[in-house]
Structure 1
Amino acid sequence: MRIDVHAHYWTDDYLDLLVNLGRTDTDAQRGQGAGGGAELDARLQLMDRAGVDMQILSAAPLLPHFAERDKAVSTARFVNDQYAAVVAAHPDRFRAFAALPMPHVEESIAEMGRALDELGMVGVVLNTTILDRVLVEPEFAPIFAELDRRGAVLYLHPAGNSVCTPLIADHQQTWMVGAPVEDTISVVQLITNGIPTRYPNLKIINSHLGGALPMLLQRLDNQYGWAAPETPELPSITARRMWYDTVGHGHVPALRAAIDSLGADRLLLGTDFPYEAGDIFVRAIDFINDPSIDPAAAKLILDGNAQALLGIDSGSVATP
């Protein structure tokens, strides 16, 4: 089954709610084709054209992360209920990752339970930072512990915060450069803090081929002993305990580097819809079948890995 694990969905109602609660970064998500109604119909037609059976929807990076507890909790429930509704209306085409009211840990664990147990979500989504705080802070450990207890999937997406540096933010590089740098920093923090080894039942999906990780693995192996001696094992081993989506904007050399460095069994189809739409959306799938990619590896990435990881039964899904 062909499953796209990196696909955004935002209704105007949700974006308006965020604005009413003080967010000022929703303009880029409006009118892009990621909403309901006619936009949803057009999305389904594009999925059919590209041969995508199913998308796993997520609200990242516009997640309900608010310092105010009440704002975070009510907004998380709102967006998760919206996602449950669209999945219920199209059960053969969509599943969803649950949003959590971070940084409020107790409330996030409660909403995780509701979303996974009652709403049928296939995992949880977090940004790579929570209000500019890193995920590996000790305060957030109960989130990892609960996900591990459940054997759940955690999908990570950049927050779009330019890695908190004006060197990126002030030079129009927040998404062109900043996003994959966010991915890189996050995944290396997970590795050096031993998150995949401490929580072996937790299944982590990182975005955008892991950022620069495929190019850095040997460097990490060479330098972690003195730079991050608390790292519990070779970084290249820990890296292969996680998964990575294939959002690489059709750049085949980047995909080959990820296959060679991380393994084809660790890569999952991702498109970044709606930011890769139309012909570019089709390319996001087709580039995996480039002649320079081993056909067996391409088959795993396109049609095997995500279904196995997410435990989705293909018998209930109609083929486009």
Structure 2
Amino acid sequence: MRVIAIEEHMLPRDIVQAAGIDLGLRAGERAAALDDLGEGRLRIMDEAGIDMQVLSALSYFVQDLAPAPSVRWNRELNDRMSATVQQHPDRFQAFAALPMTDPAAAVDELTRCVEDLRFLGAMIHGQTHGVFLDHPSVRPILDEAARLDVPIYLHPAPAPPVVQEAYFSGLPEAAAACLSTSGWGWHAECGMHVLRMVVAGVFEELPDLKIIVGHMGEGLPFHLERIENMLSPVVAGHALTVAETLRRNLYLTTSGYNSDAPLLCALAEFGVDHVLFSVDHPFGDSAKSTAYLRSAPVSDGDRAQIAHGNAERVLGLPLNSQGAA
């Protein structure tokens, strides 16, 4: 069974140093793994049975820089990923990193990455200085993604400072850092971001826009019935309900989740066609993730769709050399 993992991060150490980036506690512990785009990464993939990674830069560190440096460093990250893809085209593909503080440049970079570098879409890390993806200033980026027929992977990122202060101040530093990010805050933030896009009518205007979120749907599958019952009646003028819109436009990945309850909830609420495999390398364990994929309580057909079939369809990836699953 072919296995394609689609939320697999990189961040080269020389770019970190040249851009003056502080990786912080969590990412800093994994600086070496983020830097590795060679034999070490391939060895981890081989040992876990992962045929392909779709690379994405952990680029929220440069996404919200001032426009000029953001354009420079996002382009450098994309060129670095492109070089890796060219070196190992059967093992790696990539999502573009975009300079969100300059929307016009972000449109140009998305177009360059998809049309020239053959990237599969883009990854955007949360809001940028309080600007969410429903804001009119970033609509040209979404328009271009829809025109190019590529997805945007919406990855969590730190909440705005006012939220950080209100919710996570006064706690031990390490615990607050985790609680505000991977321990809870990131997922609530990202789920809210998606719902903002629905409520604001983004998908009414762009019905073909594909958004991917990780971490088994950032809590949305579990809360979908409540969201539908409470939110849909007050969202006026839309052709579809909130749940109907999410089930049409949103795709989920398994990144960081390797247990039955979240997977079965995601499948029940969104259907197998909208669930894709990922690890969240290097923050997730590749071997543990593929072991769970192979043992999860789903049919072999559903397992193959999650492992590779949905990625091939949603991302436009070619079939393997045998032309089959």
Q: TM-score, normalised by structure 2?
A: 0.88
Q: Using a 3 Å threshold, how does the CA distance of structure 1 residues 132 and 251 change in structure 2: closer, same or farther? A: farther
Q: Using a 3 Å threshold, how does the CA distance of structure 1 residues 196 and 94 change in structure 2: closer, same or farther? A: same
The count of corresponding residues between Structure 1 and Structure 2 is: 312
Question: What is the DSSP-based 3-state SS (H/G/I as helix, E as strand, rest coil) of the residue aligned with 2:134?
Answer: coil
| Whole-Å separation in 1 of the counterparts to 2:225 and 2:26 | 37
Shift of residue 282, structure 1, vs aligned partner: 1.6
Shift of residue 219, structure 1, vs aligned partner: 1.0
| Whole-Å separation in 2 of the counterparts to 1:307 and 1:26 | 35
Shift of residue 104, structure 1, vs aligned partner: 1.0
| Whole-Å separation in 1 of the counterparts to 2:255 and 2:97 | 21
Q: Deviations over 1:222-246 (max 9, x none)?
A: 1124443355421111111221111
Q: Which residue of 2 aligns with 1:263?
A: 271
Q: Which residue of 2 aligns with 1:169?
A: 168
Shift of residue 145, structure 1, vs aligned partner: 0.9
Unaligned runs of 5+ in 1: none
Shift of residue 55, structure 1, vs aligned partner: 0.4
Q: Which residue of 2 aligns with 1:216?
A: 223
**How big is the alpha-carbon RMSD for the aligned residues of Structure 1 and Structure 2?**
2.4
| Whole-Å separation in 2 of the counterparts to 1:46 and 1:211 | 26
Q: Using a 3 Å threshold, how does the CA distance of structure 1 residues 103 and 235 change in structure 2: closer, same or farther? A: same
Question: What is the DSSP-based 3-state SS (H/G/I as helix, E as strand, rest coil) of the residue aligned with 1:126?
Answer: strand
| Whole-Å separation in 1 of the counterparts to 2:143 and 2:322 | 32
Shift of residue 160, structure 1, vs aligned partner: 2.7
| Whole-Å separation in 1 of the counterparts to 2:153 and 2:322 | 22
Shift of residue 261, structure 1, vs aligned partner: 0.7
Question: What is the DSSP-based 3-state SS (H/G/I as helix, E as strand, rest coil) of the residue aligned with 1:130?
Answer: coil
Q: Using a 3 Å threshold, how does the CA distance of structure 1 residues 63 and 25 change in structure 2: closer, same or farther? A: closer
Question: Please, which of 245, 259, 279 is the counterpart of residue 251 of structure 1?
Answer: 259
| Whole-Å separation in 1 of the counterparts to 2:300 and 2:195 | 30
Task: Kindly indicate whether the alpha-carbon contact (under 8 Å) linking 2:255 and 2:284 is maintained by their aligned counterparts in 1.
Answer: no
Written as runs of structure 1 = structure 2, the 5 A alignment for 1:1-320 is 1-19=2-20, 23-26=21-24, 28-30=26-28, 32=30, 33-36=32-35, 40-161=38-159, 164-166=163-165, 168-170=167-169, 171=171, 172=176, 173-174=179-180, 175-229=182-236, 231-241=238-248, 242-277=250-285, 281-290=286-295, 292-315=297-320
| Whole-Å separation in 1 of the counterparts to 2:125 and 2:239 | 24
Task: Kindly indicate whether the alpha-carbon contact (under 8 Å) linking 2:215 and 2:254 is maintained by their aligned counterparts in 1.
Answer: yes
- Identity, in percent, stands at 27
With 50-59 and 39-48 compared, the bigger mean Cα shift is at 39-48
Q: Using a 3 Å threshold, how does the CA distance of structure 1 residues 105 and 223 change in structure 2: closer, same or farther? A: same
Task: Kindly indicate whether the alpha-carbon contact (under 8 Å) linking 2:232 and 2:241 is maintained by their aligned counterparts in 1.
Answer: no
With 158-167 and 178-187 compared, the bigger mean Cα shift is at 158-167
Q: Deviations over 1:95-154 (max 9, x none)?
A: 111111112111111111211111221111101212332111111111111111111121
Question: What is the DSSP-based 3-state SS (H/G/I as helix, E as strand, rest coil) of the residue aligned with 2:6?
Answer: strand
Shift of residue 42, structure 1, vs aligned partner: 1.9
Q: Deviations over 1:205-228 (max 9, x none)?
A: 111122110111111111124443
Shift of residue 9, structure 1, vs aligned partner: 0.8
Task: Kindly indicate whether the alpha-carbon contact (under 8 Å) linking 1:162 and 1:169 is maintained by their aligned counterparts in 2.
Answer: no
Task: Kindly indicate whether the alpha-carbon contact (under 8 Å) linking 1:157 and 1:207 is maintained by their aligned counterparts in 2.
Answer: yes
Q: Using a 3 Å threshold, how does the CA distance of structure 1 residues 55 and 229 change in structure 2: closer, same or farther? A: same
Q: Using a 3 Å threshold, how does the CA distance of structure 1 residues 64 and 196 change in structure 2: closer, same or farther? A: same
Task: Kindly indicate whether the alpha-carbon contact (under 8 Å) linking 1:3 and 1:54 is maintained by their aligned counterparts in 2.
Answer: yes
Task: Kindly indicate whether the alpha-carbon contact (under 8 Å) linking 2:126 and 2:158 is maintained by their aligned counterparts in 1.
Answer: no
Task: Kindly indicate whether the alpha-carbon contact (under 8 Å) linking 1:60 and 1:125 is maintained by their aligned counterparts in 2.
Answer: no
Task: Kindly indicate whether the alpha-carbon contact (under 8 Å) linking 2:52 and 2:91 is maintained by their aligned counterparts in 1.
Answer: yes
| Whole-Å separation in 1 of the counterparts to 2:270 and 2:236 | 22
